[in-house]
Structure 1
């Protein structure tokens, strides 16, 4: 029987894993019920742990989350071997104060009118659950896992060189 993946309710651990990942792949369901993914620039989470993104109010994703709010976000940082998948509910809305807070000049490439551009919406994803995989990337750690596997015939476990857990938000 396969090892059971540890389950936690610690949302902060999940958010810590993604804090330095700048791009997330957002997956929605389109009008013919196909999955559709696209890159999104990651903003800081709000006070409740929800993930925020700036988007155009006329984008397909805004239409899609109004029809079906269930989304998935995938984060990857291959340099540090961290991978995260987040499932949640999304909604899109306009809040000028929050847009002002999240705005940085690099967003002007998508919104030439600046932070006062009326087409800017916030896409908020409230996390229901997530899962992360974190494997240390040092050569020494990978060598340890390799030698251990050769010596014992067993693969690495979450408690030695790998970290893998599911997060259920309550």
Structure 2
């Protein structure tokens, strides 16, 4: 008996792009209603569309997430590759030492000097509700030529893929 697994190709594309870019600007809403963004390193993207981050328990973003129905936006950008991803989802603080052990890397020690057992270390997991990506399919030189041609002809250039994914 042969089993077939349904693979969400657009979500797989988003996962690959996020894993390549790694650094996101995570946007939350502060107590005054302002949008606040900060860089965060994505540690892992699961097949179901869950993105994992380390953060400090005392970070204002943890309270902002709790006070705003857990809604966040993550923006990933690789200007050199002309790849961009915007993720809308729900974030949640997650305390699990086994997951911390799994995701730990030496760079994290700069923020968590006591290592994996640092009392300030906690996980944030963001489940992707919706993502949109833009991905150039051509090299930088080809994109430049296409833009120059568009400027001359007045016809917008075809700059690659763009798709919205609902998870």
- Pairwise same-fold verdict (TM > 0.5): yes
TM-score normalised by the chain length of structure 1: 0.84
The alignment status of 1:154 with 2:155, answered yes or no, reads yes
Alignment-derived partner of residue 4 in structure 1: none
Shift of residue 140, structure 1, vs aligned partner: 2.9
Alignment-derived partner of residue 66 in structure 1: 66
Shift of residue 84, structure 1, vs aligned partner: 1.1
Shift of residue 31, structure 1, vs aligned partner: 1.3
Shift of residue 18, structure 1, vs aligned partner: 1.7
Cα distance in structure 1, aligned partners of 2:46 and 2:117: 21
Aligned in 2, Cα 1:9/1:28: closer, same or farther, shift over 3 Å?
A: farther
Cα distance in structure 2, aligned partners of 1:18 and 1:118: 28
Runs of 4+ that moved beyond 2 A: 135-138, 144-151
Aligned in 2, Cα 1:39/1:141: closer, same or farther, shift over 3 Å?
A: closer
TM-score normalised by the chain length of structure 2: 0.86
Query: Which aligned pairs between 1:112-131 and structure 2 lie closer than 5 A?
Result: 112-131=113-132
Shift of residue 28, structure 1, vs aligned partner: 0.5
**3-state SS of 1:10 partner:** helix
Deviations 1:110-133 (A, max 9, x none): 000001112211100001111111
Alignment-derived partner of residue 48 in structure 1: 48
Higher mean C-alpha displacement, 47-56 vs 137-146: 137-146
The alignment status of 1:139 with 2:141, answered yes or no, reads yes
The alignment status of 1:165 with 2:166, answered yes or no, reads no
Alignment-derived partner of residue 79 in structure 1: 80
Segments of 5+ residues of structure 1 without an aligned counterpart are 1-7
Cα distance in structure 1, aligned partners of 2:47 and 2:165: 18
8 Å contact from structure 1 (residues 27, 37) kept in 2: yes
Bigger relative contact order (CA 8 A; separation at least 6): 1
8 Å contact from structure 1 (residues 71, 90) kept in 2: yes
Shift of residue 162, structure 1, vs aligned partner: 1.9
Across the two proteins, how many residue pairs are aligned to each other?
158
Alignment-derived partner of residue 3 in structure 1: none
The alignment status of 1:10 with 2:41, answered yes or no, reads no
